[in-house]
Structure 1
Amino acid sequence: MNTWLGELVKGLAPNVLLASVVGSRLYGYAAEGSDYDVLGCFAHPTRELLRLRKPGDTITYRDEIVDATLHEVEKFLRLMLKPNGNVVEAALSPLTLVSSRWVSELRSLAEKCVCRRLYMHYRGYATEILKRLDRRFDRKSVLSLYRTILTGIHVLETGRYLFSLNALCEKYGVKIADSPDEVVEDARKLLEMLDEAYRRSNLPERPECEEEADSLLLRIRLYQGSRACQG
């Protein structure tokens, strides 16, 4: 990945643990000049968390070409356990910008958070996009709609992520429509497929790795604290 982007992200927060490219560049439909969507996590120095006035748990950065969000690791793990599909995707994205000693464990946890409850994330987001398209029909939202629903179907059926929209369309025999009426009709059919995938899914209902997440958070805190003492 781009060195300049990784360096920019590392400068946004102390102790960036994981940062990945998400959005259209991950899904394979970025247009020329598309910005870079980045999502990841960082760890505050442990001593900062012991103060009366706690530091913020989310850092954002936006300019003409970068839209980055970094959550403090405790918040990142809580969102993962919810599960929040955006956070799970960021942890599993192959487009890694910033890595650390904790990445493999974060990814392992993300894999264990793939469950039936992700249906609510993808169903809810698809509904939001449809409302947005009703107000303003644009190609990027159309692609996002198809990607969201097809991702949900694939995850519920297989327990795995397939990030490429083209690959998802090929697998499910879907052709992206051009007109508003055709898009709405496609969405209706695909949402029915998503509902059926949820009913038939053999995935666990919810993440069953809270103790692992708690252990990981504790070890990160202790590690950060020991580094501060050594410094």
Structure 2
Amino acid sequence: MTIEVPPWAAETARALPRPLLFATVSGAHLYGFASVDSDLDLRAVHLLASEEVVGLRTGPQTLQHMGVRDGVELDVVSHDLLKFAKLLTSRNGYVLEQLLSPLVVVTTAVHAELVALAPRLVTRHHAHHYLGFAATQERLYARTGQLKPALYTLRVLLTGIHLMRTGRVETDLGVLGTGLAYVPDLIAAKREAEHGPLPADAAARLAVDVPRLRAELETARDASTLPERSDPAAVEALHDLVVRTRLHGLPGRGRVVLPGPRAGGGRPGPVAR
């Protein structure tokens, strides 16, 4: 049962064969509709040693581990700091959400610096990510009739609208979907089964709401006060952070954070290990 983040999440992330700069929880736990049979999606950033970057034998830019622990399916993915920084300076909503996830299981001073820089890297062009992701999920639920991709479609569109209007990342559908009276019932149904069917009455509502939300996102993008490109000073600061961290390494092992319930709405405090 994985509605709550297991206490061994940090240990699982640290099993990757490189030092971590941070690890957070993504997926359904982050989106507010984890089910009793959801897998646990951990997303991390690791640090390759300098010799693994400048030599003939380079280290892995991406690490991945899939397995099962205590009956919970695991999907752990980590990018090297440089690769992550490049993704962060593109219109990639995935890495932005991973970095700013309030479900933190491993953190360091470098993580804190990345979080501080993130708002200055957001542009109106991040809307393209959310429009594209929503279109993919909409086609998926139309083909499969499953509830999960329908919830993803709503979540993605609402996250994009919120980002364009406020410049802030919010991923919890329970928070975002307060204007849609049927969302709590869909979340409750999803918590009972990861791959359950989309209720028949919800399909008709989505047929109206999804095109409307897509149009709202496009309008919010066009009216957004977000810049056309990332703040050049923030990009330069990110470059300096990557170089400094690469040259001097990661002191210690970082802090382990025990995440509290998602509904708490804030970052849990660090626990020294």
The TM-score normalised by the length of structure 2 is: 0.78
**How do 1:199-218 and structure 2 match up within 5 A?**
199-208=222-231, 209-218=234-243
The aligned counterpart of 1:194 is 217
The aligned counterpart of 2:157 is 149
| Residues 26, 101 of structure 2: 8 Å contact kept | yes
Distance in structure 1 (CA, Å) of the matches to 2:25 and 2:143: 28
Matched residue of 2:78: which SS? Answer: strand
**How do 1:109-128 and structure 2 match up within 5 A?**
109-128=117-136
CA shift digits 1:122-178 (9 cap, x unpaired): 0010011112122211111111110000000001001112222011111x4453474
The aligned counterpart of 1:51 is 55
Q: Structure 1 unaligned segments of length 5 or more: list them.
A: none
Structure 1 211/51 Cα, relative in aligned 2: closer, same or farther at 3 Å?
Answer: same
2:182 to 171, 175, 197: 175
CA shift digits 1:203-229 (9 cap, x unpaired): 1122122211110101111112999xx
| Residues 45, 225 of structure 1: 8 Å contact kept | no
| Residues 47, 225 of structure 1: 8 Å contact kept | no
2:17 to 13, 24, 27: 13
The aligned counterpart of 2:87 is 79
| Residues 133, 142 of structure 1: 8 Å contact kept | yes
Distance in structure 1 (CA, Å) of the matches to 2:27 and 2:229: 25
Distance in structure 2 (CA, Å) of the matches to 1:47 and 1:100: 22
| Residues 88, 113 of structure 1: 8 Å contact kept | no
Moved beyond 4 Å, runs of 4+: none
Q: Structure 2 unaligned segments of length 5 or more: list them.
A: 187-198, 253-273
Distance in structure 2 (CA, Å) of the matches to 1:54 and 1:153: 40
CA shift digits 1:83-110 (9 cap, x unpaired): 2111011111110011112111111122
Q: CA deviation at 1:189?
A: 0.8
**How do 1:80-95 and structure 2 match up within 5 A?**
80-95=88-103
| Residues 83, 207 of structure 1: 8 Å contact kept | no
Structure 1 135/15 Cα, relative in aligned 2: closer, same or farther at 3 Å?
Answer: same
Matched residues, number:
226
CA shift digits 1:22-70 (9 cap, x unpaired): 1110111001121111112101111221211212200111124211110
| Residues 19, 99 of structure 1: 8 Å contact kept | yes
Structure 1 93/206 Cα, relative in aligned 2: closer, same or farther at 3 Å?
Answer: same
2:142 is the alignment partner of 1:134: yes
| Residues 124, 221 of structure 2: 8 Å contact kept | yes
The TM-score normalised by the length of structure 1 is: 0.91
Residue identity (%): 31
2:172 is the alignment partner of 1:164: yes
Distance in structure 2 (CA, Å) of the matches to 1:69 and 1:190: 31
| Residues 91, 128 of structure 2: 8 Å contact kept | no
Distance in structure 2 (CA, Å) of the matches to 1:225 and 1:81: 22
| Residues 51, 58 of structure 2: 8 Å contact kept | no
| Residues 121, 235 of structure 2: 8 Å contact kept | no
| Between 174-183 and 205-214, the greater mean CA deviation after superposition | 174-183
